[in-house]
A and B are shown apart, each in its own frame.
Chain A
């Protein structure tokens, strides 16, 4: 069974670069029908899709984050990374990584990690 675990700083200052890691364990993570996604949730708010990365290395990001976001995968370390530049208080929230499969949706989620920008 696949397990995802997010990690990263809990408190940051504005203008810094946020770096989060999603560590993968358990089942195979190299299946061609899988992709990885980052989603965030502001306090008391809804869910916002950040971006996807596919087995091919292709990435798709939310235009609302402009060019601040980068998602990457380190297959050897079994990690998916999120980088978000020039953070502001508006980037405060809980960040989740998830596994997606074509047609089947995002079926495995990490527990999330909270980031506060202040």
Chain B
């Protein structure tokens, strides 16, 4: 199975900060990576698919980049509703695998 390594965890930041989260994979997955946001008690929400495509309805302060084995999720200016846990998911090979998650909390 493809191993997913997410960093940092946790991540402490303030409203207005630009933050970046990295996901590294154990093998080349092209652009077959998605990013999800999960708020406490809620289901994950798709933010980014195909490494860099913004899901409809997701604010433009979210962006994704990368290919191959290293990927980044950036939040341009952190808003109060962005304090949550973020996961990456590779859908290049079965079994699909998630990163361990990055909890973004208030500094």
Contact = CB atoms under 8 A, between A and B. Distances in A.
Interface residues on A, range: 20 to 34
A46 B98 contact: yes
Contacts of A103: 49-50
Interface residues on B, range: 20 to 34
Contacts of A110: 43
A109 interface: yes
A96 B91 contact: no
Contact of A96 (B34, B44, B97): B44
Interface of B: 1, 34, 42-46, 49-50, 53, 55, 87, 89, 91, 94-101
Interface of A: 37, 39, 46-49, 52, 60-64, 96, 100, 103-107, 109-112
5 contacts: A104-B50, A105-B89, A107-B46, A109-B43, A109-B44
